[in-house]
Structure 1
Amino acid sequence: MNRLAATAPEAGQDYLLDAEARAFRHEVRAAMARELAPLAEAIENDNDWEAVKTGIAALGRAGYLRPMFPDHYSGPLSAPGLVHQTIVSEEAAAVNYAFETTIGSALSCAYPLAHHAAPAVRDARLAGILDGTEIGAICVTEPNVGSDSAGMETRIRFDETAREWVIDGFKRYISNASVADTYIVYGITDDTVPAQKGMTALVVPAGTSGMTFPRTYTFMGRRGCIVGEVAFENCRVPEDHLLGKENGGFRIMLEMFNFERIILAGAALGVARTAFSIATQHAQTRDSFGQKLGCKQLIWDMVAEMSWRIDSAELLTYRAAQMYDRGVSGKELMKPAAMAKLVATEIACFCADRTVQILGGDGITKEYGRAEQLFRDTRAMPIVAGTTEMAKYLIASRDLPNIKPNL
């Protein structure tokens, strides 16, 4: 019997998923409980990178890093795609969001490799990421560049004599910096035109001369993932390490961000559901003033609001994933991807905050569960992969096609 045989949807969940996708979720959830949950404490409390790598390798062996790449997938799914990859991110983040950020960044690196790298480079760099034996990273953000890619200061030039691309610049807030095996680097090759027409993307293998890692950051949450700085000084890669075409990097970045925002929405949904589970369990077991805490009107108001918010995030997230799987791409996918990311990440923050409030003192101590960890972890979500404010701009820019909203 097919291990992805039909299952009924859980109450209030998976409305947009078909039977095969629901069964896939059931399988992935069991795998996360078996492979990731035993590692979660070491990742959170000890910043244990070896534990992260162990979890990634387990997902790779199971084929859970491949659904987005049908040409490299050989599992039982009849039509693997972004819906299934989003499920993986959701279920991973439900157990440990820091772990999910590592695989999310790796997959964001794998995406342009699969679609835009020269065959020899793709074959050399992609397989290890999908197997879970290697890690990928994306280098976009700079000290003066976050959402505003037009201000990118990293420069890329082509050395005609050596037939090499040369990178000079500095990137920061790079997930998997210093531990990745492959880096996708964006920079400006033509500064006489807008950045959207003069940006180029390159593949830079770990160990390339001229690439260094000045600093690793310490965050209030997401403990266990590695985020830091990457500096490039006369950093050279062969001619065939170009992604797509020269000056074609902005379109590649747009595609990557659409993908990244949708799987981040899935991750936010997983965190929100974990918070909701903690809150509802506490509300039904804690006695207060002679009755269960959940009997109090102010408590069930918070529970109800978390519930409908989570459902709205689910519908937007899996709508966007299904649109991608049906062939919607580029600017047509930009708005639904931005909406999914905006709503899901803001709801994750809301649910984490309300869960801490419902738990009271227990919610702000590590000794009484994960609520405080979720509260710390979620705060990054409305910032990474494009801020909430940037997501609103992307949405408005599609709804106001005759004008350009002023950032």
Structure 2
Amino acid sequence: MEDYLLDDEARRFRADVRDFLQRELVPRAEAIEDRQDWAAVQAVVRALGQAHYLTLMFPDLYAGALSAPGLVHATILSEEAAAVNYAFETTIATATSCAYPLHRYAQPAVRARYLDGIVGGREVGAICVTEPEVGSDSAGMATRIEFDAHRNEWVINGFKRYISNASVADTYIVYGISNPAVPSRKGMSAVVVPKETPGIHFPRCYTFMGRRGCVVGEVVFEDCRVPADHLLGQRDEGFRIMLAMFNFERIILGGSGLGQARAAFRIAADHAQRRESFGQKLGCKQLIWDRIAEMSWRIDAAELLTYRAARLYDAGRLSPKALMKPASMAKLVSTETAIFCADAAVQILGGDGLTKEYGRAEQLYRDARALTIVGGTSEMVKYLIACSDLPSLKPNL
């Protein structure tokens, strides 16, 4: 079923991306995984920018060979990169998620100042949403973004955590409450904060069981001031901007899950055809072929949902609210499939699946586990799907 929803141009693009990653990322993947080598990550990001891969979502900036670049192609890039190294893919997906609201909502001078470096691969960006008491319930955030009319500046105070690219990013998109007198969804704003701004601090980075090489940490804002033109969109429009960004991010995460799932499947299928047990190839055992078959159909389902959502996005005919369901379904099925396939691969390999010495199965197992949490938990996206299917009700979380 691979590439069933893609046209010939997109299939050629996939082949080009694979060749590029084979040259640029594969030789550095071990350094990223084992030594968490940020310089290795930066080198591949720069190469991506020079090859125009980071402008796929922005046709007015794109200078590559595609006739109509879009989210379908960005999702292919995400899928292929995640199959090689999910930590690296997280870095570029986060940077692209930062570039998206900059491109769409920033004022021209601000857009030119901060966007060019990100899409050119010279810089990376970060998105600041999650807080100690706020995960999926993003509207309940405590960060405050207040306007100082006397100095014509926005003042940011708050504490964000689990921020990908924290401390290494050059540009931060920060969401916070700008009007506490109204419901959070009607009083949230988003601002652009460059790393060198006084008052921004990075208390610590986290150590995760997977995604080694992806920098994730905390960001604190203490009377952090940016000029008035660093507001994205209009005041109190931040929640709507965030929803549109989440649709984009969840479809990209569908690609991430698909890449991880396919990598795990290839490892399991190769082992099942090579390893002998009790006088037969392992794949001849019913329990094994049953698991291989389930991995296969889950991957096909994930592919169809992910690229359907990407094509719907590129078509531009759905509102962010209408796109929420297909984006959530893509994210849900692909990321759950990644966990299923990573777990099955380790089980099929047995002891070999638990060791670094016998391949990447254990790395895929550790990396995949984050996918059903980041970008909206499986529980949260199920809620979003149900809300679309039960329009006359408001299900309780």
**RMSD of equivalent CA atoms:** 0.5
Where 2:25 maps in the other structure, the secondary structure is helix
- The CA distance in 2 between the partners of 1:180 and 1:112, in whole Å, is 16
Hey, what's the Cα distance between the residues in 1 that align with 2:257 and 2:45? 19
Aligned to 1:169: 158
1:252 to 231, 241, 254: 241
Q: TM-score, normalised by structure 1?
A: 0.97
**Match runs of 1:233-312 below 5 Å:** 233-312=222-301
Give distance in 1, aligned partners of 2:167 and 2:343. 33
Partner of 1:20: 9
Q: Tell me how far 1:75 sits from its aligned partner.
A: 1.1
DSSP-derived class of the 2:392 partner: coil
Q: Secondary structure at the match of 2:142?
A: coil
| Distance of 1:377 and 1:74 partners within structure 2 | 33
Q: Deviations over 1:20-42 (max 9, x none)?
A: 00110011011111110000000
Q: Aligned residue for 1:63?
A: 52
Instruction: Give the aligned partner of residue 192 of structure 2.
Output: 203
Amino acid at match of 1:354: A
* 2:337 matched residue in structure 1: 347
Partner of 1:337 in structure 2?
327
Q: Which position in structure 1 is the counterpart of 2:350?
A: 360
Q: Is the 8 A contact 2:139 2:239 kept in 1?
A: no
Structure 2: which 5+ runs fail to align?
A: none
> Which residue pairs with 1:7 in the alignment?
none
Tell me the residue number matched to 1:156. 145
Q: Does residue 377 in structure 1 map to residue 367 in structure 2? A: yes
**Partners in 1 of 2:114 and 2:95 — Cα distance?**
11
CA distance in 1, matches of 2:217, 2:287: 42
* 1:75 has 2:64 as partner: yes
Shift of 1:198: 0.2
* Percent of matched pairs sharing the same residue: 71
Please state whether the residue corresponding to 1:65 is helix, strand or coil.
helix
2:218 alignment counterpart: 229
Q: CA deviation at 1:291?
A: 1.3
Instruction: Measure, in 2, the Cα distance between the counterparts of 1:260 and 1:406.
Output: 24
Paired with 1:165 and 1:368, the residues of 2 have a C-alpha distance of 53
Secondary structure (helix, strand or coil) at the match of 1:349 reads helix
Distance 1:226 1:149 in 2: 22
Q: Which amino acid aligns with 1:87?
A: I
Deviation at 1:150, TM superposition (A): 2.2
Residues of 1 paired with 2:310 and 2:330: CA distance? 9
**Letter of the structure 1 residue corresponding to residue 326 of structure 2:** P
Instruction: Please name the residue that 1:8 is paired with.
Output: none
1:301-357 CA-partner distances (Å, limit 9, x unpaired): 000000000000000000000000000231011000000000000000000000000
Report what 1:123 is aligned to. Answer: 112
User: Aligned equivalents of 1:162 and 1:403: distance in 2?
Assistant: 45
Query: Structure 1 residue runs of 4+, over 3 Å off?
Result: none
Give the secondary-structure state (helix, strand or coil) at the position aligned to 2:265: helix
Instruction: Write the distance in 2 (CA, Å) between the matches of 1:349 and 1:58.
Output: 30
Matches within 5 A, 1:83-98: 83-98=72-87
Aligned residues: 396
Q: In the aligned structure 1, how far is the partner of 2:189 from the partner of 2:158? A: 13
What is the CA–CA distance in structure 1 between the aligned matches of 2:275 and 2:53, rounded to whole Å? 38
Match of 1:36 among 25, 43, 55: 25
1:315-326 aligned at under 5 Å gives the runs 315-326=304-315
Query: Are the counterparts in 1 of residues 99 and 125 from structure 2 also a CA contact under 8 Å?
Result: yes
For the residues of structure 2 that align with 1:37 and 1:43, how far apart are their CA atoms?
10
Distance 1:391 1:21 in 2: 28
